[in-house]
């Protein structure tokens, strides 16, 4: 759901071939997998189920090949989202997806440019710095049960996980395809893993 073409075009701009696939058999044959998304967890998970992609995504992640989640693609990796009810995610990472409760004058959704503070640096973070800016559009954030999966945090009323990483899985709450130098660096590094 959402920003498939813009992510594909960002890889093409960097000189990497990226193909949009919906065939479950193609997922396993991929060298790397990106799960982008825009919208709500309930609808996105239903789209994955309708296209028989849930188990192929799990198998791909278990294979150890590089996996990147983007925006809703990060949120779908978690156990549950509380957006418009309670909806299960992929359960790859333990934790939940919760709505921002921010003080005034901050608004929800969190939209626009905000900086990152690296806690752990996954390989795709090579060439980036604390304070680099990324482009965010989201009303919900991930709350990992295990803080060791947090690779970067961003401040919006309080710190929240803006990049998560575990083993071969890395995911961003922001949109790297819209985050200029920082985002293109992350995507290029991912494509070279």
CATH number of the CATH domain containing 19: 3.40.50.880
Whether 1 shows a pLDDT value over 70: the answer reads no
Q: Percent helix, strand and coil across the chain, each rounded to 5?
A: 30, 30, 40
- Order of all β-strands in the sheet with 169-172: 33-35, 67-70, 169-172, 159-166, 150-155, 117-118
Give the pTM: 0.96
Structure tokens at 103: 């003080």
What Å distances lie between residue 34 and 17, 65, 121, 172, CA to CA?
A: 12, 11, 19, 11
Torsion angle, alpha carbons of 46, 47, 48, 52, to 10: 100
Q: What is the pLDDT of residues 52-89, one digit of tens each?
A: 999 999 999 999 999 999 999 999 999 999 999 999 99
DSSP 30-73: -SSEEE---S-HHHHHHHHHHTT-HHHHHHHHHHT--EEEETHH
Q: Alpha-carbon distance 152 to 9, whole Å?
A: 25
Structure confidence at residue 37 as a pLDDT band (50, 70, 90): confident
Number of domains into which the chain is organized: 1
Tell me the residue range of the domain where 167 lies.
4-191
Active-site residues, by number, are 71, 175, 177
Q: Quick one: average pLDDT of 29-51?
A: 94
Which pLDDT value is given to residue 3?
Answer: 75
């Amino acid at each position: 759901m959402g920003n498939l073409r813009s992510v594909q075009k960002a890889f093409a701009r960097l000189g990497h071939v990226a193909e949009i696939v919906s065939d479950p058999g193609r997922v396993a044959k991929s060298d790397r997998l990106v799960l982008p998304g825009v919208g709500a967890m309930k609808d996105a998970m239903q789209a994955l189920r309708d296209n028989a992609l849930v188990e192929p995504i799990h198998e791909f992640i278990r294979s150890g090949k590089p996996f990147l989640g983007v925006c809703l693609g990060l949120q779908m990796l978690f156990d549950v989202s509380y957006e418009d009810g309670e909806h299960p995610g992929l359960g790859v990472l333990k934790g939940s997806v919760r709505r921002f409760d921010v003080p005034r004058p901050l608004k929800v959704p969190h939209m626009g440019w905000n900086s990152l503070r690296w806690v752990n640096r996954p390989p795709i973070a090579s060439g980036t710095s604390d304070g680099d800016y990324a482009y965010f559009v989201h009303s919900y954030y991930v709350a990992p049960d295990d803080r060791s999966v947090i690779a970067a945090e961003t401040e919006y009323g309080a710190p929240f996980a803006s990049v998560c990483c575990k083993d071969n899985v890395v995911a961003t709450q922001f949109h790297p395809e819209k985050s200029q130098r920082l985002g293109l660096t992350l995507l290029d590094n991912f494509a070279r893993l």
